[in-house]
Structure 1
Amino acid sequence: MLREAYFNDFEATTGVKIVDSSPADFGRLRAMVESGNVEYTVTEVESEDAWRAIEMNLLEPIDDKIVDRSKFPPQTLNPYLYPISTYSTVIGYSTEAFPEGGPTNWQEFWDVKAFPGPRSMRNHPIDNLEAALLADGVAPEELYPLDLDRAFAKLDEIYPHVTVWWTTGAQQAQQLIDGEAVMTTGWNSRLYAAIRKGAPIKMEFGGGVMKAAAYAIPRGAPHAEWGQKFFATMAKPENQGKYALAFGLSGPDPDHVNFVPEDVRLLLPLHPDNLKKQIWMDQEWWLKNGQSVTERWTEWMLSHN
């Protein structure tokens, strides 16, 4: 789908062919840059690796004279990273279990009296801690730094009602279809795919936790200018619309929602009606605190077994 959304346009416009392969992991990226033997013009970088790569000066800066990022949300802007897509952890629920409508925010997800039935959540602290604090009444603008004691106390309340702690994206929609749970936390792209296939599921963006996936140009890449022009191609909202339609992932230009069918628009994280309901994950906070918080999460899970 990357080819249909972006590669074909770039090749037709520039006459330059794109050869795609699996992305470089952090160790390989660092080795390429430090040896001066950079094989990639553009590579995907995981969020945690991206911050390390920036700190170690492994990436070329984005040239805003070539790449128009003027409409991108400020939370996605970084001098060295191009935000290929925005995705969100949201609430999914079974419309068979709640034909009149299910939970629309995390406070309602926690409300087992108004919305009874088994829940499902990811077996990982990321997103769950934010959801717990929002459920406990913390204002979005006051979310970070995360109050861990308060978050885990709120998670203690929901734990008895969580029957599945999912670990893979494939589980999210399937457990709703199979009736293992009546609601779940889930990645919007996974729920989107099921909804588009007709599954009896609805997705709610209230309190959704958004984050951006990133591409970058390794420092010293021999064809870095073509990388900048590739990002310029990706920055076109009409191309982002093709990508969004295929995967349910929002491109960074909000105008991309105008290039998908009307019935798809409200399923995308950056649709204006959804954007205003959500929060952006503080990826820098998680980079600094992720390891210790994950250790605490493991201990918390063990304490309930």
Structure 2
Amino acid sequence: MSMEFEKETLEILSKKVDNGQLSRRRFTQIAAMLIGGAPLALKAKGAWAAANELVFVNWGGDAMTAYDEAYGKPFLAEAGVTVKQDGSGPTEGAIAAQVESGKPSWDIVDADPFSAQALGKKGLMEPIDYNIVDKGKFRPGFGWEYAASTYFFSYIIAYDSSKFGDKVPTGMADFFDVEKFPGKRSLYKWGAGMWEAALLADGVAPDKLYPLDLKRAHDKIAAFKDNVVSYWGGGAESQSVLLNGEASMALIWSTRAGLIEKDSGGSIKFIWDQGLISPGAMGVLKGNPGGKDNAMKFIASAQDPKKQLVMFEKLGQGPANPAADALVPADQKHLNPVDPENMSKQIALDMAWYETNYGPALDEYTKIIAA
């Protein structure tokens, strides 16, 4: 194979990368086969542009379009870096597998802060560079060593108002009361928020929740199992179980509240009372292929209040930057988990407790709901 042929082939491939037809990782693989060494491939005309790419991993569905519109496209315009959206879901196990492979293909993940912290302490996440990311653009207390808060969401009660007449649930005790509010229920299969809901329903005061009494919570959930029609794992599942009438009440993400209210013509309603509010965050994988600095610059770019407003409008995410609060239209404030009126009715999940206890707690919860 002649050097001229190799050069022409690499130039064609690099153009495909520029046009989004080929990933830079696949480019490097092919180049390595052509030349026998990836470093030489990077000398091809245009190949350096392929390095200006980040892969952002989120939870898929509507999130991919929203993240691209709010953060991806603006970052390309600002920094010349393409941000590819991957909706495969950044679970702790998947992140660990990426890094431990020695050749991660992910750069930035939409992760629970407690997961990012736990992974970071194992050497699997990059520390957030607060020389680039601005701690002053967080709500106080929501910037961690390995995670930067970018939004808030809540686990809230959604219910089919057509089944209850004038009765409106007022908290978790009503969720677990099938005599007062008849019908099946749906819970989150990954445990978070469900322990708190069970304990609140069992009479534990909000300020006495932590450390969670897992035995008491699991006993409550186990005794309630006959009333649970499904354990949802994603937002679309939580919506469908209510929209198709399988459940009369479900604990769902607040990011789905406005969507389900609209899709049901207003018959599916929701309350903030005893909602369980949690921060979402971005973290950067150790040794990410797109480069640590570019990843940190992307996170910093996502702190823009106007961009966070786009995420609120498209996905219902409560802004992490308090400067965005004033931008939320008055008629949309009822959908914002961090609006002061809504916040006052909720309880914050304890990230420190989750960082230490989530893995074993989830194992036990999974055994109970699968039994």
Instruction: Report TM bin, short chain.
Output: 0.7 to 0.9
Return the alpha-carbon distance in structure 2 between the equivalents of residues 302 and 12 of structure 1: 48
| Closer/same/farther in 2, CA of residues 230 and 65 from structure 1, 3 Å limit | same
Return the alpha-carbon distance in structure 1 between the equivalents of residues 369 and 245 of structure 2: 24
Equivalent residue number for residue 75 of structure 2: 10
Q: CA RMSD in A?
A: 2.9
Equivalent residue number for residue 128 of structure 2: 62
Could you tell me which runs of 5 or more consecutive residues in structure 2 were left unpaired when the two chains were aligned. Answer: 1-65
Equivalent residue number for residue 321 of structure 2: 253
Return the alpha-carbon distance in structure 1 between the equivalents of residues 177 and 110 of structure 2: 39
Equivalent residue number for residue 233 of structure 1: 301
Q: Which of 211, 231, 237 pairs up with 1:166?
A: 231
Q: Percent identity?
A: 31
Question: Which amino acid counterpart does residue 201 of structure 1 have in structure 2?
Answer: I
Residues 1:175 and 2:245 aligned together = no
For the residue of structure 2 that corresponds to 1:212, the secondary structure is strand
Return the alpha-carbon distance in structure 1 between the equivalents of residues 362 and 78 of structure 2: 46
Return the alpha-carbon distance in structure 2 between the equivalents of residues 206 and 290 of structure 1: 24
Does the 8 Å CA contact 2:68/2:85 hold for their aligned counterparts?
no
Matched residue pairs, number? 297
Between 76-85 and 54-63, report the one with greater CA deviation. Answer: 54-63
Question: Which amino acid counterpart does residue 102 of structure 1 have in structure 2?
Answer: V
TM-score (norm 1): 0.82
State the 1:145 CA deviation: 1.4
Equivalent residue number for residue 29 of structure 1: 99
TM-score (norm 2): 0.69
Return the alpha-carbon distance in structure 1 between the equivalents of residues 115 and 180 of structure 2: 42
| Closer/same/farther in 2, CA of residues 288 and 61 from structure 1, 3 Å limit | closer
Q: Which of 207, 213, 217 pairs up with 2:284?
A: 217
Does the 8 Å CA contact 1:177/1:199 hold for their aligned counterparts?
no
Between 283-292 and 250-259, report the one with greater CA deviation. Answer: 283-292
State the 1:205 CA deviation: 1.8
Could you tell me which runs of 5 or more consecutive residues in structure 1 were left unpaired when the two chains were aligned. Answer: none
Return the alpha-carbon distance in structure 1 between the equivalents of residues 126 and 357 of structure 2: 27
Residues 1:265 and 2:333 aligned together = yes
Question: Which amino acid counterpart does residue 67 of structure 2 have in structure 1?
Answer: L
Return the alpha-carbon distance in structure 1 between the equivalents of residues 258 and 132 of structure 2: 33
| Closer/same/farther in 2, CA of residues 301 and 62 from structure 1, 3 Å limit | closer
| Closer/same/farther in 2, CA of residues 128 and 301 from structure 1, 3 Å limit | same
Return the alpha-carbon distance in structure 1 between the equivalents of residues 369 and 297 of structure 2: 47
Equivalent residue number for residue 152 of structure 1: 218
Equivalent residue number for residue 142 of structure 1: 208
Residues 1:109 and 2:175 aligned together = yes
Residues 1:89 and 2:155 aligned together = yes
